[in-house]
Structure 1
Amino acid sequence: MEGLAALPPGDLWGRVGWYVEPLGVTKDLQPWPNGDGGAGRDPSAWAWEGAVEPPLRGRQAKPRQVGLTMVLDKGTPLQVLDGLLAVAAPYVDFWKLAFGTSALLAQEALAERVEVARRYGVEVYPGGTLLEVALFQGRLEAWIDRASAVGIRTVELSDGTISLSLEERCRILRRLRREGFTVVTEVGKKHPDDRPDPAVLLRTLRVDLNEGAAWVIVEGRESGHTVGIYRGDGSIDSDLLDALVEAAGGPERIIWEAPRKSQQEELLRRFGVNANLGNVEPPGILALEALRVGLRGDTFRPVVRDSERRA
Structure 2
Amino acid sequence: MTNRQIVLDRLPQSDRLAPEHFALSAGERPTAGEGEVLLKTRYISLDAANRAWMQGATYRAALAPGQVMAGGGLAEVVESRVPHLKPGDLVFADTGWQEYAALPGTHLKALPDLKPETHLLSVYGVAGLTAYFGLLECGQPKAGETVVVSAAAGSVGSIVGQIARIKGCRVVGVAGGAEKGQWLVDELGFDAAVDYKSPEFKRQLRAAVPDGIDVYFDNTGGDIFEACLFAMRNHGRIACCGAVSQYDGAAPPHGPRGVPGLIVTKRLTLRGFVVMDFADQNDRALADLQSWVASGQLKVQEDVIDGLENLPKALIGLLAGENRGKRMVRV
TM-score normalized with structure 1 length: 0.27
Question: Which has a greater percent of helix?
Answer: 1
Question: Which has a greater percent of strand?
Answer: 2
TM-score normalized with structure 2 length: 0.26
